[in-house]
Amino acid sequence: MKFNFTFLLLVVLLSIGCRKNETSWKSDWVVPLIKDSLVIKDYVNDSTLAINNDQSIQIIAERSLVNLDLTSLVEIPDTSIEQTFTINFPSLTLNPGTSFVDEIKEHEFDLGETALTNVRVENGKANIRIENPIASTGVFHVTLPGVVKNGSVFTHTENVPGGTMANPGIANLELDLTGYSIDMTGETGQLYNLLQSKMRISTDPNGSAITVTNQDVFKTIVSFENLTFDYAKGYFGNIIFSDTNTVDVDFLKNIVGGAINLEDLNLELIIQNGIKVRAKGEISQFESVNYNGTSVSLDHPYFNQEFIINPATGSWSSISPSELNFLFDQSTGNLEAFLENIGSQYNLGYAIELNPLGNTSSGNDVLYPESRLGIELKADFPLKLGADSLTLRDTFDIDFKNDSKLLRVESGDLILQTTNTFPFGAEVKLELIDEYGAFLAKINSTGSVLPAQTNVSNDAHEPIENELRFNVEESIVNVLPETKSIVVTATFSSTTFNNNKVYANAALHLLLMSELKLKSQL
């Protein structure tokens, strides 16, 4: 939701202060001259606004309220697997180039109730350590069956220097597992959570004959670190996501009074399940909290009741999330009061439980790279509203410096000239604040920003020009050197409190000038 179009006038008024161009008055005086514009068409086609046939503006907005981290669905903790081998004879003499170990082992990951049959690594690595206890160089062929990338099984051959049982020869290598698929069904293809490793060892083909005893232990250690996955298949277990998400609308924190009136409202809260897992959930709260702490909780017949979320359909790039929609309009609950509370904070309480009935998919839960699980908010209603003494206040840093030996400001005006085609007007005042937050002076304006009127064709507002003068009298000049910030307060009102359409020609053009009397002192 973009309430801030109600308050576009203030955005631009404030932008001419210190946020964009910090102004510093020095002895070498330069008269500030700032031009700025805000045009409603600049916000069309940014997934927020559209133009209707009658040239009025339509709010069409989509916002993510909850986007759950699905990496917790499939987690393999940092794990080390070890494969060792010794011969079955007291000793064995081997000629150069002889293979004497060729063995596959299965290693099981402890994943609790999660049962994985296949995963693809998004990020992560494996560190492999090989230990050779014999005096001659050993040729180690390490293979991870089922670990495949671009159709090739991971295989690595390493010549490991000789050593002893007390001080074996060692080789270390690091494998980037990004993009590797891992079959975790074991040698039979019927199990889960298993990783295979195969070790084949040969004597040095260029060395001499060697003797190996049953006291010699050949070893490989594979350590997996920081594994994350973008694809997984199996049974993901019973998992509950439960929280209260807070969404802050910082701009609306500046509202300190007044009211708005909205019409023809239409809002959707959408639960999206982009994984192939059955789920259930509950929305316990959707609350708006405004500037003075007043809260309004949105009502809906299905809130605080369990609902079922079906699994997604399709696969890979064609994955299609299932959706459960909560529809709101002015006939459903208290949507109007909820939005007109002008909340600067929104609290959404929810719970989503995966596999509430256990492994009903028979191990066919699937997570794809494009899978998402979350809650979206969609708005689709005309920008047609009213404002009644809607008061916004903000504070901006500023630095006035005056070299009294050369130049002195005696008095004058700050002049704000506007051309407005919005149906809202505003009264503006300024307050000067010192570095300790103490009030120094108030500057009121003569004149105001007047609301524009609809043209005879009822498809636009006629431009209206205004001039606001802020008198800088001598008492105010005297406190300028102490001023470190300016508080800007703008009070907005519309021609009527309802049915104020904003049209495609809506714009506010501004020109700020200083008209000051100066006296040089040499």
CA distance 104 to 199: 7
What's the CA angle centered on 147, arms 146 and 153, to 5 degrees? 85
Cα of first residue to Cα of last residue in the chain, in angstroms, is: 58
pLDDT tens column, 36-84: 777 888 877 666 788 899 998 888 878 888 998 787 788 888 888 888 9
Residues forming a β-bridge with 326 = 269
Report the pLDDT value the prediction gives residue 13, as an integer from 0 to 100. Answer: 29
Spatial CA neighbour of 468 closest among 424, 409, 421, 512? 512
Cβ contact 365:277 at 8 Å: yes
Looking at residue 497, its pLDDT comes to 66
Residues 6+ apart with CB under 8 A from 212: 87, 91, 92, 93, 94, 100, 134
d(CA 244, CA 411): 54
> 3-state class of 71 per DSSP?
helix
pLDDT at residue 16, rounded to an integer: 28
Q: Which residue has the tokens 């700050």?
A: 414
pLDDT at 479: 84
Task: Please tell me the predicted confidence (pLDDT) of residue 75.
Answer: 85
Tokens 């202060």 — which residue? Answer: 17
pLDDT at 12: 28
State how far the alpha carbon of 127 is from the alpha carbons of 120, 167, 223, in Å. Answer: 18, 20, 5
Extract the runs of DSSP E, i.e. beta strands, from 137-238.
Answer: 138-149, 152-160, 169-176, 181-183, 194-203, 210-213, 218-235
CA 309 and chain centroid, separation: 24
Taking Cα atoms as reference points, which of 262, 258, 276, 366 lies closest to residue 312? 276
Strands 461-462 and 407-420: unpaired
Tell me the per-residue pLDDT of 274-326, one tens digit each, with 9 for 90 and over.
Answer: 999 999 999 999 999 988 889 999 998 889 999 999 999 999 889 999 999 98
Per residue in 440-457, pLDDT (tens digit) is: 999 888 888 899 999 999
Say what the pLDDT of residue 517 is.
72
C-alpha span between 274 and 374 (Å, rounded): 9
What is d(CA 4, CA 422) in angstroms, rounded to the nearest whole number?
A: 13
Q: Which two tokens stand for residue 489?
A: 């307060």
411 is written with which tokens? 């008095």
The rounded distance, in Å, linking the Cα atoms of 34 and 18 is 11
The residues near 414 (Cβ < 8 Å, ≥ 6 apart) are 443, 469, 470, 472, 512, 513, 514, 515
Supply the pLDDT for residue 33: 43
Q: Which residue has the tokens 């910090």?
A: 22
**Residues of the chain with confidence (pLDDT) below 70:** 1-34, 45-47, 251, 399-409, 497-498, 512, 518-522
Average pLDDT, the chain: 84
Structure letter (DSSP) for residue 463: -
